[in-house]
Structure 1
Amino acid sequence: MAGRADKVAAAIKAGGATAKQAAAKVHDIATDPVVQEKARKLAENGAKAYRAATSPEAKKAYRQVAAFLKKTRRK
């Protein structure tokens, strides 16, 4: 039983060290200015796409296409 407890304790310690290394890598990547600029551009593009998809014109076009499909399926 003592051997198992030692193995479990060692696994927990190793897991903690691995998690710490992973967190350090994530922190390094997140603080990189190039990565921050890419993320900013992606967020801006996402906001533009969301605005385009939820605009009144897009909703009107969606309704028109839905009505057309509904009519063509009936025939």
Structure 2
Amino acid sequence: MLGPGGVGGLLAVLLTDAGHEVVVVARTSSVETLRESGFHLSSPVFGERVTRPDVVDRERRRCWTPRTSRSSATA
């Protein structure tokens, strides 16, 4: 997820809670806060929850590689 703003943060919470592997790319100044506090969601639709997806510094985003790779070949 590039940018944990309102929409990105909501998607990060919902996808993480659904069991998907989520990596949030954030500003250097926000990384530690997001790692420590997590993402707080307060919604009449989705309820109250705190989720802690992986958070990386946008300056180091190229260092991250997914745990699984997708094959471009089709069977």
**TM-score between both structures, scaled by the size of structure 1:** 0.19
Q: Which has the higher strand share?
A: 2
Q: Which has the higher helix share?
A: 1
Higher relative contact order (CA 8 A, sep 6+): 2
